[in-house]
């Protein structure tokens, strides 16, 4: 008998009367060794791409098919990167139709918001106090607003995370009830954009593209442990979706792995051995 997350939440409620930049919310070492992790994929609207038209034309795919390929590839890349250290569960492993219902329940109860990347530096006491007084103004992200019927926006080029925010722990409780997971890895957003920072490369047509994966890790008790961006680069000439996935998604997964697991002694030439399930 299948159990939806919504049903699980109700049951639990009755019985009781979740290159590389990261922002940590705990000073403790995050160690997922021998633990269970549930990977929650991003919602389709959280796929942002400058190159979707080129991908669709080269690969004869619709936008929805591209998103599905990328979503599945991320899920499998994370699985292969994490499998030797912990148990990984996925909505793609759910055999019945409850996965669709479960994901809808999660997306309906999940809030996403931007968080500015923090640049850590050593500061004296006086500077810390000064920075503390100015932090609210400097760290705030200026979103768009409507004035006299007109949309006003302020461009903000600072790097930002797309962070998953859970205000009601019953969602995590219901996922834990169904999947029995200790941790929940939310894949919040996938974006692919052209890198125009090097104007010479732009003029020569040799600029790169940036592919970024935004994620947040929650513990089953509702505490957020870390949020971040895993990113890598590839040539603007490459539009084959199989090549993009094979060459880049294992790297994205590996960067997340290195954030969540403490370093261990390994042979310097060790590599993740991946199957190629996306062709």
Q: Where are the domains of the chain?
A: 36-117+159-260
What pLDDT does 209 receive?
Answer: 96
What pLDDT does 35 receive?
Answer: 87
Burial (CB count within 10 angstroms: exposed 0-12, middle 13-18, buried 19+), residue 128: exposed
Task: Answer left, alpha or beta for residue 236, where phi above 0 means left and psi between -120 and 50 means alpha.
Answer: alpha
Of 209, 204, 169, 217, nearest to 192 by C-alpha is 209
What pLDDT does 118 receive?
Answer: 58
Q: What SS3 state is found at 219?
A: strand
In this prediction, residue 4 has a pLDDT band, given cuts at 50, 70 and 90, of low
- Residue range 224-248: mean pLDDT, rounded: 95
Question: pLDDT (tens digit, 9 = 90+) per residue, 161-191?
Answer: 899 999 888 889 988 888 888 999 999 999 9
In this prediction, residue 252 has a pLDDT band, given cuts at 50, 70 and 90, of very high
Q: What percentage of residues in the chain have a pLDDT greater than 70? A: 70
- What's domain 36-117+159-260's architecture? 3-Layer(aba) Sandwich (3.40)
- 46-50, 105-109, 262-266: which has the highest mean pLDDT? 46-50
Helices (H), 26-97: 52-59, 63-82
- Higher pLDDT among residues 211 and 275, named by residue: 211
What pLDDT does 263 receive?
Answer: 64
Residue 216 has pLDDT above 90, yes or no: yes
Distance (Å, rounded) from C-alpha 192 to C-alpha 87? 29
Prediction pTM value: 0.75
Question: pLDDT (tens digit, 9 = 90+) per residue, 15-30?
Answer: 333 266 777 777 777 7
């Amino acid at each position: 008998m299948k159990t939806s997350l919504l049903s699980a939440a109700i049951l639990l409620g009755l019985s009781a009367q979740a290159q590389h930049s990261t922002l940590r919310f705990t000073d403790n070492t995050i160690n997922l060794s021998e633990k269970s992790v549930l990977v929650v994929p991003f919602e389709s609207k959280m796929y942002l791409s400058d190159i979707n038209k080129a991908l669709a034309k080269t690969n004869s795919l619709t936008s929805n098919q591209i998103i599905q390929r990328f979503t599945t590839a991320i899920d499998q890349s994370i699985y292969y990167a994490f499998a030797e250290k912990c148990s990984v569960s996925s909505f793609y492993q759910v055999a019945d139709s409850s996965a669709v219902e479960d994901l809808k329940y999660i997306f309906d109860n999940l809030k996403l918001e931007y968080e500015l990347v923090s640049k850590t530096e050593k500061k004296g006491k006086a500077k810390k106090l000064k920075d503390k007084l100015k932090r609210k103004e400097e760290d705030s992200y200026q979103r768009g607003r409507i004035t006299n019927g007109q949309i006003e926006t302020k461009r903000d080029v600072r790097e930002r995370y797309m962070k998953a925010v859970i205000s009601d722990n019953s969602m995590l409780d219901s996922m834990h009830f169904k999947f029995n997971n200790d941790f929940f890895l939310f894949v919040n957003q996938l974006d692919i954009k052209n890198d125009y920072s090097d104007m010479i490369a732009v003029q020569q047509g040799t600029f790169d593209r940036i592919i970024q994966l935004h994620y947040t890790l929650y513990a089953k008790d509702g505490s957020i442990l870390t949020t971040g961006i895993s990113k890598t680069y590839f040539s603007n000439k490459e539009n084959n979706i199989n090549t993009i996935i094979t060459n880049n998604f294992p790297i994205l997964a590996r960067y997340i792995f290195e954030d969540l697991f403490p370093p261990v002694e390994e042979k310097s030439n060790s590599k993740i051995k991946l199957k190629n399930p996306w062709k």
